[in-house]
Amino acid sequence: APGLYIVATPIGNLSDITLRAVDVLSRCDGVACEDTRVTGKLMKHLGLSKPLWRYNDHAEERDRARLIESMQTRAVALVSDAGTPLISDPGYRLVNAAREAGVEVQTIPGPCAAIAAITLAGLPSDRFLFAGFLPVKDKARGDILAELGGIDATLLFYESAGRLAKSLAAIDTALPGRRVGVARELTKLHEECRVDTPAALIAHYEAKPPRGEIVLLVEPPHEIEASPEDVDALLREALKTEKA
């Protein structure tokens, strides 16, 4: 059926693609993608051949309009280089424009590095906040960490291997005492997940510089410890209820 199909693709292991994703990619009229070479390889692996159209959210308005127009009569799949489109990847503007134009939009969920990381690290998963890539500049990075640091949730960031050490140091400064998770090369041969203090992680990766793709996790703020006075008050309160 005509419309826009948001299709999640593997983040490493090529077997991580849903039956429905393969079905949509095999039936669609064309695939909008970030990089035709990357998506071309995936299509080849799946034994599929479809027109591939380069798309990103910085596309000219009229290119986007043309793509939206074609969705009135054709089925267009949107994929990114890896994982779920729109998650630190292009697609938001396209989905927004498609909905405004009354185009049918469907999502075919699947791999996402942030979600894979939260399932692996053993940090609280009941509340987490995904904040995309940390800013590159020191000041902006410190500001974001300070802003998000008070929130009672595990924080998730995308990170590159080259910037890991700097980011770990920034977390240590802005949010002292928090444990940090480094989830690296998820679903790939050298998958690794370490949860430790920033200092220990910095030491580890100094000795063994990391490669590949990384999700950083920061544990939530610790419970505020009760002062002795608070404990006395709580005890008195508890004894009162017991007597009553």
Residues in contact with ligand SAM by CB under 6 A are 11-12, 80, 82-84, 87-89, 112-114, 158-160, 183-188, 213-215
Q: Of 25 and 70, which has the nearer Cβ to ligand SAM? A: 25
Nearest to 103 by CA among 32, 192, 35: 32
Q: Minimal CB distance to ligand SAM: which residue?
A: 83
Q: What is the dihedral angle through the alpha carbons of 96, 101, 102, 104, rounded to the nearest 10 degrees?
A: -60
Q: Closest distance between ligand SAM and the C-beta of residue 205, in Å?
A: 15
Q: Of 64 and 184, which has the nearer Cβ to ligand SAM? A: 184
Q: Closest distance between ligand SAM and the C-beta of residue 38, in Å?
A: 12
Q: Of 91 and 198, which has the nearer Cβ to ligand SAM? A: 91
3-state secondary structure of 116: helix
Q: Closest distance between ligand SAM and the C-beta of residue 154, in Å?
A: 16
Q: Closest distance between ligand SAM and the C-beta of residue 236, in Å?
A: 51
**33 and 54 Cβ atoms separated by less than 8 Å:** yes
163: Cα separation from own chain's centroid: 17
* Residue 209 burial by Cβ neighbours in a 10 Å radius (0-12, 13-18, 19+): exposed
Q: Closest distance between ligand SAM and the C-beta of residue 50, in Å?
A: 21
Q: Of 48 and 87, which has the nearer Cβ to ligand SAM? A: 87
Q: Of 141 and 184, which has the nearer Cβ to ligand SAM? A: 184
Residue 38 amino acid letter: V
Residue 192 amino acid letter: E
Tokens describing residue 189: 């041969």
Distances (CA, A) of 138 to 32, 131, 133, 144, 216: 35, 16, 13, 10, 17
